[in-house]
Amino acid sequence: MKRLAAYSIFAAAFLAAPGIAAAQDSSTGKVSFGKCQACHAVGPGAKNRLGPELNGLVGRRTGAAGGYQYSPAVKNAGFVWDGTSFAAFIANPRGKIPGNKMVFAGIKDETEIANLWAYLSHFNVDGSSK
């Protein structure tokens, strides 16, 4: 009986794990974006600042926001922004793209990164919400 109970608990935890990992909180990500908004803008009317605007980031190639002068390192990084590439970059911007001009130590907490990505992912290229 103990073995059956232990198996049931393990199975329930195993099946729930993907849902937990996928759960992201856009509203919490909006709070985290406060760390970014000194240099970046997102949403309706967003313009390039010290860093590029981040509307339509999902699926955009590195160095592709119009009207922003990227460093050669970012222009030539050669990847598309998705949850994985964003997480690696925001955790260690200089490690993911050596030679970029972003001065930010990074965010190390995986949950915070996932929430920030969830927030940024809600914006279309024109700044409207998806």
Residue 3 pLDDT class (50, 70, 90 cuts): very low
Name the pTM for this structure: 0.80
- Provide the residue ranges of all domains of the chain, joining segments of one domain with +: 25-120
CA distance 93 to 50: 15
35-78 pLDDT per residue, tens: 999 999 999 999 999 999 999 999 999 999 999 999 999 999 99
Residues near 88 by Cβ (< 8 Å), separated by ≥ 6? 96
Average pLDDT (30-38) is: 96
pLDDT at 5 over 80: no
pLDDT at 103 over 50: yes
Residue 18 pLDDT class (50, 70, 90 cuts): very low
Instruction: Share the mean pLDDT of the chain.
Output: 86
What are the residue ranges of helices labelled H in the chain? 2-22, 26-32, 72-75, 83-91, 93-96, 110-120
pLDDT at res. 68:
97
Q: CATH says 25-120 is which class?
A: mainly alpha
**Side chain identity, residue 62:** T
Cβ atoms 80, 61 nearer than 8 A:
yes
Residue 23 pLDDT class (50, 70, 90 cuts): low
- Residue 106 has a CB neighbour count (10 Å cut-off) of 15
Which has more pLDDT, 46 or 25? 46
pLDDT at 126 over 70: yes
CA distance 127 to 89: 22
Query: How far separated are the first and last CA of the chain, in Å rounded?
Result: 49
pLDDT at 129 over 90: yes
Tell me the two tokens of residue 49: 């600042």
